[in-house]
Structure 1
């Protein structure tokens, strides 16, 4: 079942909150994206920024696992949320 945009935005917000509280991973995100505290704060209401945070999180299975374990989220949810946010559409090449 496809995730609604509203549900995906909630997961995106959870991912931002989790990332903001992660002392090890937050600096990696900030330095790799050029984001600062203001960008992070302003991005809370921006589905495209939420998608970018999920893209970052989805780069490493260990990060996804930690996020899901620490937030009680099913392992499939981050990918489903990403697909429902801007730029997450599946591209069919045929």
Structure 2
């Protein structure tokens, strides 16, 4: 089962890629900010923190259309987002 393990560093890279992708779509970015209660300045300042990165992955995992669009855009299997989320602190079991 080793191939399903994701290191925290790799998970952070996936989450940073997801954040970069997410902010390219204004509607999606605004929905993320509204759901998290975060403003754009705070998001910029805290973008590399695992709590924010986890929230980005949670956002994708809660919205299948966004999850699939992100996975397709960056050529990753959608399952890798869930694996990345589980490698970061604060993950809920899904």
Equivalent residue of 1:8, what SS? Answer: helix
> Equivalences for 1:26-45 in 2 at 5 Å?
26-45=29-48
Show structure 1 runs of 5+ residues with no match. none
> 1:68·1:75 contact (CA, 8 Å) conserved in 2?
yes
Equivalent residue of 1:45, what SS? Answer: coil
> Equivalences for 1:1-94 in 2 at 5 Å?
1-88=4-91, 90=93
> 1:43·1:50 contact (CA, 8 Å) conserved in 2?
no
Show structure 1 runs of 4+ deviating over 6 A.
Answer: none
Change (3 A) 1:71 1:87: same
Give the superposition deviation at 1:90.
4.6
Give the superposition deviation at 1:43.
2.3
> 1:51·1:82 contact (CA, 8 Å) conserved in 2?
yes
> 2:36·2:55 contact (CA, 8 Å) conserved in 1?
no
> 2:14·2:84 contact (CA, 8 Å) conserved in 1?
yes
Show structure 2 runs of 5+ residues with no match. none
Instruction: State the aligned residue count.
Output: 91
Equivalent residue of 1:49, what SS? Answer: helix
**Deviation per CA, 1:7-60, whole angstroms, max 9, x where unpaired?**
000001011111111122111111122211112112222011100111111101
Give the CA RMSD over aligned residues.
1.6
TM-score normalised by structure 2 residue count: 0.87
